[in-house]
Chain A
Amino acid sequence: MRFTILALVFFSLAAALSGQVVAPTPNSVGPTRGDDWKNYNLINSFETGYRFLSVSGNQNKYRSDVNFGNGVRLLSSFIGVNSKEGHGLLFDEFIFSTQGLGGDPYESASVRVQKNRIYEYSLLWRKNDYYNPGLTTDGGQGQHLQDTSTTLQDNNLTLFPQSKVKFFLGYSRSMQDGAGISTLLSPTSSSDFVPVLTNIRQVQNEYRVGGEFRFWGMTLNWLRGWQDFKDDSTGQVNHGTSPYWQVALVRNSQWIDINGRFTYTAGRRTFLTNQNAAEAHQQVFTFGDARRPVATGNATVSIFPTTKLTIANHTSFYNIRTEGDSTYVQLDNTTGRADFLYYQFLGIRTFANDTDFDYKLKNWFDVHGGYEYSDRRIAATSQFLQSSPLYSQTNEVNAGKVGFRARPFSRFTVTVNAEFGRASRPFTPKSDSNYNLLTGRLDYRWKTLQLSAWSQANYNDNSVLLSDYNSHSRTYAGSAAWSPVKWFGFDASYSKLHLETLGGINFFANNVLFANQISYYLSNLHVGTLSTRFSVRRFDFYVGYNRVQDAGDGRNTPTQVVAGPDLPAFRAAQTFPLTFQSPQARISVRISERLRWNAGYQYFGYHEEFSSGQNYLAHTGYTSLLWSF
């Protein structure tokens, strides 16, 4: 019986984590129901072990993609304490969990404490080591070198969570810190620059206070927040705050739901940069007080005239203005002349309304559809002058949606959706213009067998007189999951992501204008995942394999002519065949009810077809003890 319970726990967790990195181990230890202590129940587990790594090839690319290293880790931990009667002295639930502490590039810790009816507190802390060796996949010039760490922290406290009157307090802190490359004005010219290494240090603190009141069947929710930003990276000072309001009203009843939400943010930044082109006797500094007020309003009305019909209407309004009185000054130290350039104003105002309906014609067949209209006005100045004329343009989109869902026989479901949209004036040549989106899904579920297939075609055609932009993406995906017995499970998926774009481009080469050229890009990505898990007595095994392959367009050399400009760089940019694969295996042995030994291995192989500079092979693995006290 114990074996059965443990096997059940193992398989459910293994299924939950297939396709993930090999460690931490997803098994659990200790009695399923935990240990009782006074009026509390306690569950805990800790996994400590050693990660190992061996890389051949481009180590920088490995750090960019995977980044797991060597060393001792607290791979994961979990402590859960629950009061059994819901009347604990200080808390009724305490949950603490961690992952990757001790040096993994992806570390996290979370705390959740609550006492029924009095408070709920949660903390989520995360740290990500980010490494960018200046990659561009064609072999870049080293731009954007970064070796930073980003720390994110969210604290939320709710007072009287089950009451009609609640209060919220929150604090979040985000920080990016480390070394990176930037640019400064060149000493020899006020129009040129030089790359420099800087210490990146950007911090955002957010403070929140809010409340919620329920009265007359309605819920009024309000939130006041302040997002304070600071960038003290070398070469600039940029501080600002974005205080915001959010007010929402929710009203629900048996046949109609109404809710509205309003937000306003008064974004504001003060900044100062001062750069010298000493040898050119030029000094360039910008300073100012940037403002970006943002206002939104949303209203949703959902009506349920019958139990078979739902109609939902949503109206949204969005207004943003980027403006300010900042000044760009270019001083010529020899003449004392200064040029003042003012803000480029950018304002966006969007109004949108959409209506969706869902009607159940039969118990096995329902249809849904909708219509959406949106209107966006963009106002902007073209010159950095105070009296620059304001230019405005309006884009309207009309989109229709229709679909159905059918269950022709038990366990089998078919879903089809289509959306057609037409835009009058897209903002960029790549924006949605005349787009058609068609999606279909098949699902079959029988006991522990689940089969599904999915397909989506997304076509966007944006043609203008001198240039065309066409994007055709098609996705096909299928998956199968099967767990016929408790000690065996199987999971597989395959996706083909096809993207084909044709863009009109104009450019200069050697002072010659190449007009009305074509930028052609083709990607045929095949992605497969396969995993199986099985158990033999005390031994639990997991084997998985992920493979990503861009098959390209079939060419043998990167500069082979397919379509587009007759420049080697353009030809080489049309397709980018590569393979990225990652097999993994793990064994977990139950030594006792409270102790497991685990070991795992994961291989990462990255291979580009036309260039070997960024290829690498990495052998990673770990061994650990998973224990519970």
Chain B
Amino acid sequence: MHSTAKLTLFLAVLAAPALAQNPSGKFVGSTVCKACHPDVWFRFYKNAHFKSIASEKEKPENTGCEGCHGPGEAHVKAHGGKATIRAFSLLSPKEATTTCLRCHSESLARSNIHRSVHTLNDVGCAQCHSIHKAETPKFLLAKREPELCYGCHTDIRAQFSMPFKHRVNEGFMVCSDCHNPHGTSSPTWRMAARPHMVKQDVNEEACLKCHFDKRGPFAFEHPPVRVEGCEACHSPHGSTNSRLLTRPVVFTMCLECHNGVGAFGRTGTGVPMLSPAHNMADPRYQNCTNCHMRIHGSNADPLFMR
């Protein structure tokens, strides 16, 4: 190899990161890319990004291969190579996200992406989405839900393996029914801090979209339902306890709040404790929701019995 060629190659390698992020040169059009990347091109009409090509109205920097990979002139002249084009395999998660957000930032669903836990932990778009090898035509996910999410959230996989669970593994629902992986506004329950990434049904907890009968308003509200949300008593992913409760036996769960102690509760005088009529030695009184059946709220009874 001539020394000039070696020098050129050396400089190209040195410049690779910069070129990869901001490839220079002119736009050559997607049909040129077809010559060397036929596998990608011949499937691309099934890709959501093909819309920009079909419209024939977008500017070169916003359409086709070069819309994401940058101008291809240098890449063509060099007969390929990742150093001469914006190759996503060389981009950091943040750089990849910035590239995608050029077009995808306008959506309300992604308006909190910069403060989402995923972004803060360097989980970028390309970790979950695969543009050319997507398994789902919608959202172009690299794997199907929930397996995509289980890849990192092993503990959540464990929770959905429990005997009581939301039917995610059965294919009835997916993680994104309740979560927005791109970040959400602060929750309107608890203290607006946690949980992260849980969607809202307009402005209330996402659970109410399906469990709409719990929404109310009720004449007699059970305050923790509104103040602390469903997680005050339920483990939403899965549990070994019936009804996804946080305790296997319901009375222990109720008594831990209804102990009359401290400055807790609606009026700051403690959550009311049971009356002496409740004989906790008698099994009849150990199943609280046997009588307090409308525990989420009632229109007929202040003690949620009817």
Knowing A176-B213, A429-B271, A495-B154 touch, does A519 contact B256 (C-beta < 8 A)?
Answer: yes
Task: State which residues 223-242 of B face A: CB under 8 Å.
Answer: 223-224, 226-228, 232, 240-242
- B24 touches A (CB below 8 Å): no
Q: Is the CB of B120 within 8 A of A19?
A: no
A566 to chain B, nearest CB (A): 11
Q: In the complex, what distance in Å separates the CA atom of A572 from the CA atom of B281?
A: 13
- B164 touches A (CB below 8 Å): yes
Q: In the complex, what distance in Å separates the CA atom of A484 from the CA atom of B203?
A: 47
B147's partner among A16, A267, A464, A508 (CB-CB below 8 A) is: A16
Task: State which residues 27-49 of B face A: CB under 8 Å.
Answer: 42-43, 45-46
Q: Is the CB of A12 within 8 A of B135?
A: yes
B273's partner among A322, A507, A570 (CB-CB below 8 A) is: A507
Q: In the complex, what distance in Å separates the CA atom of A95 from the CA atom of B139?
A: 13
B278 contacts which chain A residues (CB < 8 A)?
507-508
Number of residues in A with C-beta < 8 Å to the partner? 193
A405 contacts which chain B residues (CB < 8 A)?
121-122
Q: For the complex of A and B, list the 7 residue pairs with the smallest distance between their C-beta atoms, beginning with the closest.
A: A86-B54, A527-B158, A464-B262, A495-B158, A292-B217, A503-B256, A352-B192
Q: Which chain B residue shows the least CB distance to A291?
A: B217
Q: Is the CB of A573 within 8 A of B300?
A: no
Knowing A182-B293, A204-B212 touch, does A320 contact B167 (C-beta < 8 A)?
Answer: no
- B255 touches A (CB below 8 Å): yes
B54 contacts which chain A residues (CB < 8 A)?
85-87, 92, 116
Q: Is the CB of B224 within 8 A of A344?
A: no
- A449 touches B (CB below 8 Å): no
- A454 touches B (CB below 8 Å): yes
- B264 touches A (CB below 8 Å): yes
Identify the B interface with A (CB < 8 A): 42-43, 45-46, 50-55, 92, 94, 101, 105-108, 111-112, 114-115, 119-122, 135, 137-138, 143-144, 147, 150-152, 154-155, 157-159, 161-164, 167, 169-173, 185-186, 188, 190-194, 202-204, 209-210, 212-213, 215-221, 223-224, 226-228, 232, 240-243, 247-252, 255-257, 259-268, 271, 273-281, 283-284, 286-287, 289-291, 293, 299-300, 302, 305-306
Q: In the complex, what distance in Å separates the CA atom of A447 from the CA atom of B53?
A: 33
The contact string, 1 if C-beta is below 8 Å from chain B, for chain A 54-69, is 0000000000110000
Q: Which chain B residue shows the least CB distance to A219?
A: B106
A465 contacts which chain B residues (CB < 8 A)?
261-262
Q: Is the CB of B119 within 8 A of A257?
A: no
B125 to chain A, nearest CB (A): 15
The residue among B112, B215, B284, B299 with the most chain A CB atoms within 10 A of its own CB is B299
B251's partner among A236, A275, A475, A573 (CB-CB below 8 A) is: A573
Task: State which residues 336-393 of A face B: CB under 8 Å.
Answer: 341, 343-344, 346, 348, 350, 352, 354, 356, 358, 360, 363, 366, 368, 372, 374, 376, 378, 380, 382, 384, 391, 393
- A15 touches B (CB below 8 Å): yes
- Excluding A117-B51, A346-B226, 7 further A-B contacts by CB distance (< 8 Å) are A141-B284, A144-B293, A184-B306, A320-B226, A376-B192, A464-B264, A504-B256
- A314 touches B (CB below 8 Å): yes
Interchain residue pairs with CB less than 8 A apart (16): A137-B242, A183-B305, A231-B213, A265-B203, A273-B306, A296-B188, A302-B115, A322-B226, A399-B193, A441-B152, A467-B261, A495-B157, A501-B256, A509-B281, A569-B251, A578-B240
Q: Is the CB of B240 within 8 A of A525?
A: yes
Knowing A344-B221, A548-B163 touch, does A221 contact B108 (C-beta < 8 A)?
Answer: yes
Knowing A242-B215, A573-B249 touch, does A425 contact B155 (C-beta < 8 A)?
Answer: no
Q: Is the CB of B287 within 8 A of A162?
A: no
Q: In the complex, what distance in Å separates the CA atom of A496 from the CA atom of B51?
A: 46
Q: Is the CB of B274 within 8 A of A16?
A: no
Q: In the complex, what distance in Å separates the CA atom of A384 from the CA atom of B221?
A: 12
